[in-house]
Structure 1
C-alpha cells in the first residue's frame, strides 16, 4: 500500500518493542480474572463438600431426620452460592441484527476518475498525483469503491454543510433499514451511540439521529469522535457497559466516517495517504440484554478487550491530524505507525488470549515469556514469543482493512489461512477501507456466503489512532441463512472471492 504501509520485517510480531513489561501485564490479567473465578470455585468446593457429607452420613448410619436437616442446610448454602454467582454475572448482550450501507452507484469513483479530478485541483502538483496513483494501484481496492458527492466536485466541497449532508446520507438509510429488519419503533431504543472520528458537529450526530427519528426524551445518547478505525468496537464495549446498568434495554450503535472533512489538498505525502485509502461506508447494530431477544438474535457478545499506548510519545504521534507548512489540515501517518501497531496488537491479543484460549495455548505462551526473560543477551534479539493458535476457539476473523500487506502480516502472525483473511481482502477490494464500519462489511460477507454456523465464534479486531487496538468476540446463536440476497453484497457476492487478490501483494 505504498511506502508507509509496506512491511520491512518478516512478520509484524517481530517488530515488537521488547521493553514491554509482560510480568506486570500478566499480573494485571490474573488479578482481573481471580474474582470472576472465585465464586465458581466456591460452587465446586461446596458440591464436593455436599457429596462428602452425604457419604459420611451413609457410612455412619445416622438417623434419617438428622441426616435430612443437615443435607437441607447444605443444599440451601449451595443454592445461595449459585444465586450469588448468577447475580455477579451481568446479563448477556445479544446482537439482534445489523445493517450495512450500500452507497448509490453515482458515488462510485474509478481510479481514472479520481486521478483526473485530482489533476484539476490547484493544490496538487504532478508529484502528488503520481504518488496517489501509486498508492491506489497497490492499495488492494477495486474501481468499484465510493466517495461522497462532496468529493466529486472540483475542488471538493469540504465545508460544514456538505459534511452534515454526507452524515445524513450514510446514517439515515441504515437506521431505517435496521428498524425495518427488527420491526422496532425509534421509541423502543433506550441507548444510542454514534461514532465518527473526524467530524464532530454541534448539535452532535447522535442529536441529528434523535431529531430525524423523533426518539424518546429519555434516550441516552453518546457521540464518540477522534477514536480512529477501531471506534466501532469501542462503541460496542460502551454499549455493553451501559447495558450492564440499564436492564431490559435496546442499544443502537451507528458507525461511520465522514470523508469530506478529512480531504487533504496539499503536497505532503504522509497526509495524501488518507485521500486514497478511505472510502464511504456505515453500519448500524442493534444490541439488547432482554432475555426474550435471545431466540431472534444472531450473536451473543462473549468478551471485549481494549488496549492503548497514548501514554507513549512515539505512539501518540504515529498518526495525528495537524496542519502542514501552508496551513492545510490533514492526517499525518508516520513511519513509526507499523511498529506501534505491532506493539499494541501483541498486547491486545495477549489479554484476549487469557480470556478465551484453552489452557494448553496459554501454558505454551507463558513458557515462551519465561524463556525470553531468562534468555542470554545474544539470543534475546532473535527470540520470538509463542503466538497462540486462536483458531482453536475462533472460527471467523474480521481484520482491519488497512491494506493487503497489513492484513497478510497479521494473518501470518496469527497463523490464519487464505480463507480466514478472505472477508478482509474482499471487503477492501469491493468497498475500500471504510474505517470503523469495515468490520461489519466483513461479517456481512461471511453471512452472505453462509459460512457462520450456530456455535461459531467471530473475532472483530479494530486498530485505530490514539493509538488503540480493540477486540470483540461474538458467538453465533442460530444458523445465518438467506443473507446473500440482501445487504451491500447482494449484487456481487457471487463474484467473490477473486483469486488474483489472494495472489497479489
Structure 2
C-alpha cells in the first residue's frame, strides 16, 4: 500500500513532463521561418520605357491637351525608371481590348518562372507543400489561380489552398499572416505564398484623372515565398517572423474611398486614387504603430516616450503658444532596416516623415520604385531583395516591413535575420548601378516645364 502514493506521484510527474514537452514542441511549431523567396523578373522584351509610356498615352484619342499634360506630369514625377515591365497585350497595342487569355498568360509566365526558380533554389518540391496561399487582387478566374498552380505543379491532394482577391497592395503580409495561421494547425509543415497583380485586363482607357494614375504607377512583377514552422529547418532559414500587425480603417468613409475600383461617367472601369490617399495612409499607419511599438521597442524607449508625452500634457500651458511637434517614438531603437512599400513617392515620403527616417533608410523603397515600379502586393519582397543584394542584412538584424492597400489598410511585420543573406536575386544584373548618380526622368528635360503648370495635386 505504501507504493501506491509513490506510484501516483511518479505518474503525475511523468504526465506533467509529457505535457510540458508537448507545450514546448507546440510553441516551437508555432514559429514561422522564411526559408527562401524569389522576385519575378519578366523577360527583357516586356520592358517599358518612359518613351513607350508616352506613346501609349498618345494612343488614347479621348485625351485632350490638359489630360495629356497631366499624365506627362505624372510620368516626370513618378520616380519610375526605364526598365519596368508591362504585359504583352499593351506592347501589342491591345490595351483597350484585353482578353481573358491575356490575363491567364500573364499569370502563367510568372508562375512558370518564379515558383520553379524557388523550388530549384530551396531544394523543396511541389509535393512538399502543405499550404498554398495565392494573392492577386484584380483577377479572380474560375478555377482559381491557386487551383491553377496546384494543377500545373501536381501538388498533393491534401494541400490546403487559399486564394485571396481584392485585398490591394497590402495583401503581401495578409497572405503571410494567413499562411502562418494555417501552419499553426499543422506540425512541421511547409507553406508557399505567391503574390502578384494582373495588369493585362486592367488598363484604364478613360479620361478621369484620378483613374489615370494607376496606369502610370503599376507594373508587372510578383514574388514566391517559402515559409515553414519546422524547428528542424531553422538552420536553413533566412529569417524568423517576430510579429505581424494588421490595421484596417475602412469604417472611415474617406479612407474607404481613397483607392476604389469604380466606373467613370462613361462606364469605363478603373482604380480611382484620390487626393485623400496619403492622409489615409498616415492615419492607418498611426493605428498600426500603436499596436506594433510595444511589441518591438525596448522598455527604455517606451519609458522615454511615455515620460515626454506625460510631461507635455502636464505642462500643456507652456506648449500652447508653440507649434513644436509632439514627442516621437524612435523606431531605430528596435529596428535595423526599414522595408517600406514603394507605392509612390508621396507614400514613401509620408512614411519617412512619420518615422523620422533619413534618405538611407528609404533608399531601398525608392530604388525599387525606380527599377520595378509598383508591383502591388509583391513590392515588399523586391525591397527586401535590394537590401540583401547590397549585403546590408546580417544575422541578428531586425527588418520592419510596412505596406499599405485599399480598404484602407496598413500591415506591418518584423523579421529577424537568422541566416546568411547574400543572394542578389532579381537585382543581380543591375545592383551595382544602384543608387544611380541621377534619378532624373528622361522626360524631365523635354517636359520639365509642365511641373510649373497649375493643376491637381498628385498622390504619387
TM-score (norm 1): 0.80
Give SS of 1:460's match. strand
The residue that corresponds to 1:394 in the other structure is: 335
Question: Equivalents in 1 of 2:282, 2:326: separation in Å?
Answer: 13
Alignment counterpart, residue 421 of structure 1, candidates 353, 358, 362: 362
Give SS of 1:176's match. helix
Compared CA separation, residues 170 and 497, structure 1 to 2 (3 A): same
Q: Contact between 2:244 and 2:411, CA under 8 Å: does it hold in 1?
A: yes
Compared CA separation, residues 249 and 77, structure 1 to 2 (3 A): closer
Point out which structure has higher relative CO (alpha carbons under 8 A, 6+ apart): 2
The Cα shift of 1:123 comes to 3.8
Compared CA separation, residues 106 and 414, structure 1 to 2 (3 A): same
Aligned positions, number: 429
Q: Contact between 1:304 and 1:471, CA under 8 Å: does it hold in 2?
A: yes
Compared CA separation, residues 476 and 378, structure 1 to 2 (3 A): closer
The Cα shift of 1:88 comes to 7.1
The Cα shift of 1:85 comes to 6.7
Structure 1 residue 86 corresponds to structure 2 residue 24: yes
Q: Contact between 1:229 and 1:435, CA under 8 Å: does it hold in 2?
A: yes
The Cα shift of 1:376 comes to 6.0
Give SS of 1:128's match. helix
Q: Contact between 1:453 and 1:479, CA under 8 Å: does it hold in 2?
A: yes
The residue that corresponds to 2:414 in the other structure is: 473
Question: Equivalents in 1 of 2:310, 2:21: separation in Å?
Answer: 39
Q: Contact between 1:323 and 1:330, CA under 8 Å: does it hold in 2?
A: yes
Alignment counterpart, residue 142 of structure 1, candidates 45, 67, 81: 81
Question: Equivalents in 2 of 1:458, 1:417: separation in Å?
Answer: 16
Compared CA separation, residues 378 and 173, structure 1 to 2 (3 A): same
Q: Contact between 1:407 and 1:421, CA under 8 Å: does it hold in 2?
A: yes
The residue that corresponds to 2:63 in the other structure is: 124
The residue that corresponds to 2:92 in the other structure is: 153
Give SS of 1:184's match. coil
Q: Contact between 1:194 and 1:224, CA under 8 Å: does it hold in 2?
A: yes
CA deviations 1:252-285 (Å, max 9, x no partner) are 0001011123210001100000000011110000
Q: Which runs of 5 or more structure 2 residues have no equivalent in the other structure? A: 1-9, 445-459
Alignment counterpart, residue 395 of structure 2, candidates 434, 440, 454: 454
Q: Contact between 2:282 and 2:350, CA under 8 Å: does it hold in 1?
A: no
Q: Contact between 2:119 and 2:126, CA under 8 Å: does it hold in 1?
A: yes
Question: Equivalents in 2 of 1:338, 1:197: separation in Å?
Answer: 21
TM-score (norm 2): 0.87
CA deviations 1:161-196 (Å, max 9, x no partner) are 211111111222100000001111211100000111
Question: Equivalents in 2 of 1:412, 1:148: separation in Å?
Answer: 35
CA deviations 1:232-263 (Å, max 9, x no partner) are 01111111111111111100000101112321
Give SS of 2:170's match. helix
Q: Which runs of 5 or more structure 1 residues have no equivalent in the other structure? A: 1-71
Question: Equivalents in 2 of 1:478, 1:192: separation in Å?
Answer: 24
The residue that corresponds to 1:228 in the other structure is: 168
The Cα shift of 1:364 comes to 3.2
Compared CA separation, residues 228 and 90, structure 1 to 2 (3 A): farther
Q: CA RMSD in A?
A: 2.7
The Cα shift of 1:409 comes to 3.0
